[in-house]
Amino acid sequence: MKTLLALSIACAATALCGCASTEYTKADLDGRVVCNTDRMDQVDREARREMKEIHWLNCPLATLRVAS
């Protein structure tokens, strides 16, 4: 029974390792458009200081440029 449990855990772990995402390369990331979280944090901090309420409809966009 213990052997069967250990074998099933090993099989499950092996199967899950196969589903891991691959690391991004420079070609994958360069020019990719993502949300600009730094700008969003800056606006949120400024709004808190001025006691304003923010509702994001669209996030500000930034284009990633990867240095070689």
Four-point Cα dihedral 62, 36, 22, 19, nearest 10: -130
Does the pTM surpass 0.85? The reply is no
How confident is the model over 28-57, as a mean pLDDT? Answer: 91
Secondary structure (DSSP) of 8-33: HHHHHHHHHHTTPPPPPPHHHHTT-E
pLDDT of residue 20: 67
Q: Answer whether residue 16 shows pLDDT above 80.
A: no
Please compute Rg for the chain using Cα positions. 22
pLDDT higher at 21 or 6? 6
- For position 39, what pLDDT does the model report? 93
How many CB atoms are closer than 10 A to CB 4?
8
Q: Closest Cα to residue 60, out of 30, 33, 32, 28?
A: 33
Mean model confidence pLDDT for the chain: 85
pLDDT tens, 20-41? 677 777 777 788 888 999 999 9
